[in-house]
Chains A and B, each alone.
Chain A
Amino acid sequence: MATLFFFYFAGIIVLTSILVVALRNPIYSALSLLIMFFHVAGLYVTLRAEFLAAVQVIVYAGAILVLYLFVVMLLNVKREDRYHPQFLLGTLLGLTLLTEGLLLVFRGTVPEQPASVPAATGATQAGSSVLPLVGNTETIGEVLFSTYLYPFEIASLILLVAMIGAIVLAKKDIGGREA
């Protein structure tokens, strides 16, 4: 049952990811990206990472993709004028990634049954296969505020830097009165 869902979500993810780069109209690309985000969220749900699934939709589909859409509409990109053939670079990158993927598959380091691995490894009191359904959010919270305390604060700093960067980059347009 879980395997069935996995193949459905994975198949749609692959399909829509190809569509994102293959479609000529940037709005359609953004829409297939939206479908992809939803199926990634679905995949997270089958992996018992509910919180990640919600974050996936809220942050990627609800925030970042809206930003993409704004940019696409802001620039009002016509259909054809943004394509620059870069076959050499593309082939090189593609071959590298393909080799990596094949290596991973043939060395067998990919877990065979992803659905049976609980996403929440932080709760150690129970065995991995009989983890009670405490919920992914609680586990993430506990781990984030104990084990990964330092990375968490670093993340908040990075967000601050991102914020300042965004404003500085856009300042030319907003700070017209100041200058």
Chain B
Amino acid sequence: MSGSDLLLDYLSRYFPILLFIGIALAFGVVTLLLSYLVQPKFPESEKLSPYECGSEPFSDARMPFPVRYYIFAMLFVIFDIEIIFLYPWAVVFDKIGLIGLVEMLVFIGLFVVAYVYAWRKGALEWD
């Protein structure tokens, strides 16, 4: 096969995925629209007020929240990137032999250092 044929073959694998995404999106939008067309609409202020166990809502609902969520998101970003490095390594593990193993042991060692540091500093504690 020539280069352009291969490219076409390769792209044709991704085309159904694009199609699927389009269909799923269309399904979501169209169903919501259809439902919007047939449903009754009787808005009134009591019905529209956000639920707060029966009392009148007070203060802004979009309040600032604990910084703890932010810390976990940061930890997640860093660990996620470390995990990403594991995938190409796992896939070619047979071909790279001992060097790959040792290298990844070093990498995971540093990962563990970061993890233990986070643990000792109490960053993994939720309270």
Contact = CB atoms under 8 A, between A and B. Distances in A.
Interface of A: 1-2, 5, 42, 45-46, 48, 51, 55, 58-59, 62-64, 66-67, 70-71, 73-76, 115-116, 129-133, 137-138, 140-142, 144-146, 149, 152-153, 155-157, 159-160, 162-164, 166-167, 170-171, 173-175, 177-178
Contacts of A166: 71, 74-75, 78
Given A163-B117, A175-B121, A48 B70 contact: no
B80 A58 contact: yes
B74 A140 contact: no
Contacts of B92: 138, 141-142, 145
Contacts of B67: 74, 170, 173-174
B63 A76 contact: yes
A80 B84 CA distance: 38
Nearest to A38: B21
18 contacts: A48-B7, A55-B84, A63-B81, A74-B64, A142-B92, A145-B89, A145-B99, A146-B96, A149-B99, A153-B107, A156-B85, A156-B107, A166-B75, A166-B78, A170-B71, A174-B67, A174-B121, A177-B122
Interface of B: 1-4, 6-11, 14, 18, 60, 62-65, 67-71, 73-78, 80-82, 84-85, 87-89, 91-92, 95-96, 99-100, 103, 106-107, 110-111, 113-114, 117-118, 121-123, 125
Given A76-B63, A138-B91, A166-B75, A46 B4 contact: no
A160 B117 CA distance: 10
B84 A58 contact: yes
Contact of B6 (A130, A140, A156): A130
A59 B2 contact: no
Contact of B64 (A75, A129, A177): A75
B72 to A, nearest CB: 9
A102 B52 CA distance: 58
B28 to A, nearest CB: 15
**Which of A45, A132, A145, A152 has the most chain B CB atoms inside 10 A of its CB?**
A145
A129 B11 contact: no
